[in-house]
């Protein structure tokens, strides 16, 4: 089968190529999916550049892509709740990365039925950003009705999903974006959209219950300037907090170094009696099914910026790397014609 693969750490042009790869064979608790659509995420470019080497070393050639929507073509002996012909979607586990390919094996516990009202292209854009938003806002921040939440970068893959998810929980949603995106981000349901080109959100906000920091850098520490006492700051791009480094099972020395790095953040959190957590999302089929239901019930709608053909996958990654995506960037495979 044909697959896009990383041949070494580097850039999109020099380190990615289409190769002929062995067909994956599903283990006892796995499913083989024929890929109809995949989506790309910033993590794909980060892994390619070698930014995450300290956490996980790649062996080459390595697959590209973590989101998939497609059709089940085979199931392992231990799989009881999916069968051949099912239309499914998933964020595959790190051991299965490589959805920009004709076929992919996935652990059954990471898979959910595709919402029937969505195309494969729409569904492929949901898993990674949906699970990240769910695990950050619902699981860790415990978002509830009436909470005031700031979601940075409302026009991104994460932001455009997180705004809708937070609204579905009855939160008051504030988001930041650039001038050109203000109108359509507002239409996603945000109560207040701050144009970061013209306004400083720190001048406008105070006493937020939750800040969802998608940007990292100085934005993580700055969150404590607008959070209320006892509030919750959840980051997906900031420094790792001690609890998360422990959960990740990182070694003692690296945990010590990371603790030093996050010292300022933990101090700022303590001064506000606030929570600080850095979330590393995990594949989870059950949560994905819950998210799928929100799409099925039209409480959330997919936001797709651009769709590329399989052969244009490198262009898709380059477009995403520019950092200006408005919603999700999708890779569409050719579906077999129905008789
Ligand atoms: N920890 C985890 O498990 C996890 C999971 C998923 C993602 N992430 C991380 O989360 C980040 C966001 O992911 P994504 O998929 O949403 O990325 P993305 O789709 O590439 O985000 C692009 C968007 O960011 C906006 N943006 C850039 N700078 C901004 C600023 N200063 N203020 C407001 N908006 C700004 C851009 O809007 P404008 O053009 O209007 O500026 C654009 O719409 C990435 O760094 C990713 O690596 C982490």
% of the chain beyond a pLDDT of 70? 99
Residue 250 has a pLDDT of 86
Residue 339 has a pLDDT of 46
Report whether residue 306 contacts ligand 1, using a CB cutoff of 6 Å: no
Is the pLDDT assigned to residue 103 strictly greater than 80?
yes
Report whether residue 121 contacts ligand 1, using a CB cutoff of 6 Å: no
- For atom 36 of ligand 1, the residue with the nearest CA is 324
Report whether residue 151 contacts ligand 1, using a CB cutoff of 6 Å: no
- For atom 46 of ligand 1, the residue with the nearest CA is 42
Dist. CA 168 → ligand 1 center (Å): 21
Counting every residue written for the chain, the total comes to 339
Confidence grade of residue 286 (pLDDT, cut at 50, 70, 90) = very high
Residue 143 has a pLDDT of 98
Sequence-separated (6 or more) residues with CB below 8 Å from residue 202: 222, 225, 226
Chain segment 9-20, per-residue pLDDT in tens: 999 999 999 999
Q: Which atom of ligand 1 is nearest to the CA of 41?
A: 15
Which runs of consecutive H residues, i.e. helices, occur in 74-177?
A: 120-124, 127-133, 157-168
CATH class of the 2-126+302-332 domain in this structure? alpha beta
- For atom 20 of ligand 1, the residue with the nearest CA is 323
Residue 88 has a pLDDT of 98
Is the pLDDT assigned to residue 271 strictly greater than 60?
yes
Among 65, 127, 128, 153, say which to mutate for ligand 1: greatest number of ligand atoms within 8 Å of CB. 153
Confidence grade of residue 338 (pLDDT, cut at 50, 70, 90) = low
Report whether residue 217 contacts ligand 1, using a CB cutoff of 6 Å: no
Q: Which of 36-45, 161-170, 174-183, 248-257 is least confident?
A: 248-257
Dist. CA 215 → ligand 1 center (Å): 6
Mean per-residue pLDDT of the chain: 96
Report whether residue 196 contacts ligand 1, using a CB cutoff of 6 Å: yes
Q: Which of 253-257, 261-265, 303-307 is least confident?
A: 253-257
3-state secondary structure of 94: helix
Mean pLDDT of 99-106: 98
- For atom 13 of ligand 1, the residue with the nearest CA is 158
Mean pLDDT of 200-205: 98
Tokens encoding 62: 């390595």
Mean pLDDT of 321-325: 97
Q: What share of the chain is helix, strand, coil (3-state, %, to 5)?
A: 35, 25, 40
Does domain 132-278 bear CATH number 3.40.50.720? Answer: yes
Closest of 243, 175, 180 to residue 210, by C-alpha: 175
Is the pLDDT assigned to residue 147 strictly greater than 80?
yes
Residue 41 phi/psi, 5-degree rounding, is -135, 155
Mean pLDDT of 136-142: 98
- For atom 5 of ligand 1, the residue with the nearest CA is 132
% of the chain beyond a pLDDT of 90? 95
Residue 337 has a pLDDT of 58
- On the question of a common fold for 2-126+302-332 and 132-278, the answer reads no
Report whether residue 41 contacts ligand 1, using a CB cutoff of 6 Å: yes
CB 167 within 8 A of CB 192: no
Residue 288 has a pLDDT of 98
Chain segment 34-90, per-residue pLDDT in tens: 999 999 999 999 999 999 988 889 999 999 999 999 999 999 999 999 999 999 999
Residue ranges covered by each domain of the chain: 2-126+302-332, 132-278
Residue 55 has a pLDDT of 81
Among 39, 132, 214, say which to mutate for ligand 1: greatest number of ligand atoms within 8 Å of CB. 214
Report whether residue 177 contacts ligand 1, using a CB cutoff of 6 Å: yes
Dist. CA 156 → ligand 1 center (Å): 5
């Amino acid at each position: 089968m044909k697959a896009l693969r990383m041949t070494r750490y580097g850039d999109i042009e020099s380190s990615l190529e289409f190769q002929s790869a062995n067909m994956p064979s599903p283990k006892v608790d796995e499913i083989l999916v024929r890929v109809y659509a995949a989506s790309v995420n910033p993590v794909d470019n980060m892994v390619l550049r070698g930014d995450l080497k300290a956490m996980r070393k790649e062996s080459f050639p390595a697959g590209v892509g973590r989101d998939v929507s497609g059709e089940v073509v085979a199931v392992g002996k231990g799989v009881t709740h999916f069968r051949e012909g099912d239309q499914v979607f998933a964020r595959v586990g790190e051991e299965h990365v490589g959805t920009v390919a004709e076929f992919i094996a996935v652990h059954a516990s990471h898979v959910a039925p595709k919402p029937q009202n969505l195309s494969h292209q729409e569904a492929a854009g949901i898993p990674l950003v949906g699970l990240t938003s769910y695990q950050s806002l619902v699981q860790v921040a415990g978002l509830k009705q009436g909470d005031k939440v700031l979601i940075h970068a409302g026009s991104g893959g994460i932001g455009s999903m997180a705004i809708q998810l937070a609204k579905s929980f009855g939160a008051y949603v504030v988001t930041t974006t650039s001038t050109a995106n203000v109108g359509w981000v507002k239409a996603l349901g945000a109560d207040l959209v701050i144009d970061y080109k013209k306004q400083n959100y720190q001048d406008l906000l105070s006493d937020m219950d939750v800040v969802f920091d998608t940007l990292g850098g100085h934005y993580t520490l700055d969150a404590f300037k607008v959070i209320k006492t006892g509030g919750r700051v959840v980051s997906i791009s900031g420094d790792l907090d001690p609890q998360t480094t422990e959960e990740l099972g990182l070694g003692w020395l690296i945990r010590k170094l990371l603790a030093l790095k996050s010292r300022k953040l933990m101090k700022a959190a303590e001064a506000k009696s606030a929570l600080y957590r850095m979330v590393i999302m995990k594949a989870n089929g059950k949560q994905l099914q819950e998210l799928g239901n929100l799409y099925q019930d039209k409480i959330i709608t997919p936001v797709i910026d651009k769709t590329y053909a399989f052969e244009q996958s490198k262009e898709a990654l380059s477009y995403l790397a520019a950092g200006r995506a408005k919603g999700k960037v999708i890779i569409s495979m050719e579906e077999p014609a129905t008789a």
